[in-house]
Structure 1
Amino acid sequence: MTVGFSNPPGVRPPAGGRYSHAARIPAGAERLVMSGQIGITPEGTVPADPAAQIAQAVANLGAVLAGSGLGFADVIKVTVFLTDPALIGLWREARTAAFGDHSPASTLLIVAGLADPAFLVEVEAEAVFPA
């Protein structure tokens, strides 16, 4: 099964080329829909450092994927919530480290806050199981 990622003509190319405007999922593909992952450690602590918190959110996403036998290359859509536009660069670094050249469909939102004032980032994702 092959997921088709595309950036069709008539739409401005993605900023930095690090995401795709669309992901075409083949009929019958099994999907994994993941809840938002925040930068909280398995022990329940929230790093105060923004880079560490973003890295932890990405690590948590990786653990959820791995728990279903998947990896970052299987992700088809990412939605990222940041509480400060100053965090965009840190998010992009973490995204590149995790996803490499894989460019799933993506939405980035700057929000007034998350479920706890200590949370700076939340990352939701959807993935497709290989055939």
Structure 2
Amino acid sequence: MPQNKAAIATQDAPAAIGPYSQAVRSGDLLFTSGQVGFDPASGALVSGGVEAEARQVLKNLAAVVGAAGLQMTDVVKTTVFLADMNDFAAVNAIYAEAFAGAEVMPARSTVQVARLPRDARVEIEAVARFA
């Protein structure tokens, strides 16, 4: 049985820091790996707190989704990981801006986790659908 999946990669988002793809297309779905607030050029976590990280996370996510030929409005589900649930309101406001053009907002789960890669404060993964 042939594999129906392809890796998606872009230099406009941070390179994977482990043995995984930035995203994988399988049929009419795109599954992204979690994005954190790393600057793609330097590989360093952006400074400026959770708001700056959240903006960079969503910029990175948009770059990966865009590399597959999709837009953020094609995202159907996200999972948001927070190091501190007290950051929910700040991240939520920035998240809302990133999806402002969507007719239907993606389904979403948000969870607090014990720790994120390189002590990031927020990570977001997504599933998008090709028309």
TM score, norm. by length of structure 2: 0.73
> What percent identity do the matched residue pairs reach?
36
Tell me how large the CA RMSD over aligned residues is.
1.6
Of 101, 107, 119, 1:105 maps to 107
Q: After the TM superposition, which parts of structure 1 deviate over 2 Å for at least 4 consecutive aligned residues?
A: none
> In the TM superposition, what is the alpha-carbon distance from 1:69 to its structure 2 partner?
1.0
Write the mapping of 1:1-131 to structure 2, written as runs, cut at 5 A.
30-43=28-41, 44-48=43-47, 49-100=49-100, 101=102, 102-117=104-119, 119-130=120-131
TM score, norm. by length of structure 1: 0.73
Q: RCO higher in 1 or 2 (8 Å CA, sep ≥ 6)?
A: 1
Uncovered stretches (5+) of structure 1, i.e. residues with no partner: 1-28
> In the TM superposition, what is the alpha-carbon distance from 1:89 to its structure 2 partner?
1.1
| Higher Cα Rg, which structure | 1
Uncovered stretches (5+) of structure 2, i.e. residues with no partner: 1-26
CA distance in 2, matches of 1:56, 1:109: 19
CA distance in 2, matches of 1:91, 1:71: 20
